[in-house]
């Protein structure tokens, strides 16, 4: 029994690492179609990664060991986060190792290392990117915490697997506070993953970029790991969203059979396809905000999440 959960955990992590670039490629493809262009192939992201691993790394003379190790730390934290988030099943050994608040701490660790590494070389754009990354981070984190508190109030736990199990026990209930929280979560997801209202993943203008400004000095395998890690981060955020708001199909404690796992994989893929297309649509329909408007955008997300909490307290619903 114990061995089966370990194998399942391992499979979940491998699946997350393998399909994260695919998810990024799917969003890029949807975006291209919505801009009336022919799209690059789905496996374009993999080709880019393979090419980057084949190249020689060029490093600035001022690079410290921190700069060299950061890609591995970032990739490691994102893999660990993927192991904690119950994307396929809830009875995973790692899923109980950390609750959602520790998960936010894990993402914050990754952000601190990325910002330090961006400042390490000493270029103006890297430092600017680090500052902006921290600004968006400290605005997005409280909003994300509030979103999670909504779910905690509903199901009485801070562990993601218990949230999924709690939801599965009452699948027909749609709580109004969850709707507020879901909208706030999507706004946080857009901000945290360098998506369009806050940052433009396709930009080449140094003065407007946030996330990519921190990666400007990285090349070859280091860049590949960082790109892969940011793909994993997006995948992880999507999976947190699925666990909180759309947990249909995730194999719960009761269901140990192989069919439940197959269903959960199919459900995850279907949810990713829809979420990717929706994300691309949101990005195509909105314009990038000026950096000074980012606090307003994230304050709005925070406000929505707090409204969700208030609605919950007013209605006094408790499901678990």
Partner 1 sequence: MFTILSRMIHTGILTEPLPTVAVGAPSTEALQRSLWKVLGRALCIRHVDAGSCNGCELEIQALNNPYYNIEGTGIKFVASPRHADLLLVTGPVSVNMEGALRRTYDAIPDPKLVVAVGDCGACGGIFGQSYASWGSIANVIPVNHTVTGCPPTPAALLAGILQAIAASGAEV
Least gap, CB of 123 to partner 1 (angstroms): 10
- Residues 8-47 touching partner 1, rule: CB under 8 A, are 32-41, 44, 47
Is residue 179 involved in binding partner 1 (CB under 8 A)? Answer: no
Least gap, CB of 130 to partner 1 (angstroms): 15
The three-point CA angle 148-93-86 to 5° equals 40
Q: Which helix (H) or strand (E) holds 298?
A: helix 294-315
**Residue closer to partner 1 (CB basis): 46 or 248:** 46
- Residues 194-253 touching partner 1, rule: CB under 8 A, are 203-206, 209, 212, 215-220, 223
Which residue's structure tokens are 């902006």?
Answer: 132
The single-letter DSSP state of residue 94 is G
**Residue closer to partner 1 (CB basis): 22 or 163:** 22
Separation of alpha carbons 146 and 132, rounded Å: 22
Separation of alpha carbons 21 and 52, rounded Å: 14
Q: Which of 222, 236, 211 has its CA nearest to residue 132?
A: 211
- Residues 64-83 touching partner 1, rule: CB under 8 A, are none
Judge residue 313's burial from the number of C-beta atoms within 10 Å of its C-beta, 0-12 exposed, 13-18 middle, 19 or more buried.
exposed
Least gap, CB of 2 to partner 1 (angstroms): 41
**Residue closer to partner 1 (CB basis): 41 or 169:** 41
Least gap, CB of 32 to partner 1 (angstroms): 7
| Residues forming the site for partner 1 (CB under 8 A) | 32-41, 44, 47-48, 50-51, 54-58, 203-206, 209, 212, 215-220, 223, 284-285
């Amino acid at each position: 029994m114990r061995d089966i959960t370990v194998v399942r955990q391992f499979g979940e992590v491998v699946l997350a690492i393998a399909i994260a670039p695919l998810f990024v490629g799917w969003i890029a493809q949807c975006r291209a179609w919505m801009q009336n262009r022919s799209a690059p192939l789905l496996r374009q992201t993999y080709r880019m990664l393979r090419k980057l691993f084949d190249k020689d790394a060029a490093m600035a003379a001022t690079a410290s060991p921190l700069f060299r190790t950061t890609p591995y730390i970032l990739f490691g934290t994102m893999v660990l986060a993927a192991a904690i988030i119950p994307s396929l099943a809830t009875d995973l050994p790692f899923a109980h190792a950390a609750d959602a608040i520790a998960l936010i701490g894990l993402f914050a660790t990754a952000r601190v290392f990325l910002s330090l590494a961006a400042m390490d070389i000493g270029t103006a754009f890297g430092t600017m990117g680090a500052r902006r990354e921290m600004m968006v981070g400290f605005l997005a984190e409280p909003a994300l915490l509030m979103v999670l508190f909504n779910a905690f109030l509903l199901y009485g736990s801070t562990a993601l697997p218990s949230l999924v199990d709690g939801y599965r026990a009452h699948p027909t209930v749609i709580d109004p506070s969850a709707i507020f929280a879901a909208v706030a979560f999507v706004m946080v997801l857009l901000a945290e993953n360098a998506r369009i209202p806050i940052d433009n993943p396709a930009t080449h203008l140094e003065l407007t970029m946030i996330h990519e400004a921190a990666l400007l000095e990285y090349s070859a395998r280091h860049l590949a790991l960082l790109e892969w890690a940011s793909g994993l981060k997006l995948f992880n955020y999507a999976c947190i969203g699925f666990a909180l708001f759309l947990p249909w199909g995730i194999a719960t404690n009761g269901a140990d059979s192989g069919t439940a796992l197959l269903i959960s994989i199919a459900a995850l893929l279907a949810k990713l396809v829809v979420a990717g297309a929706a994300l691309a649509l949101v990005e195509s329909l909105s314009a990038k905000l000026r950096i000074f408007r980012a606090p307003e955008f994230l304050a709005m997300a925070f406000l929505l999440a707090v409204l969700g909490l208030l609605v919950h307290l007013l209605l006094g619903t408790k499901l678990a």
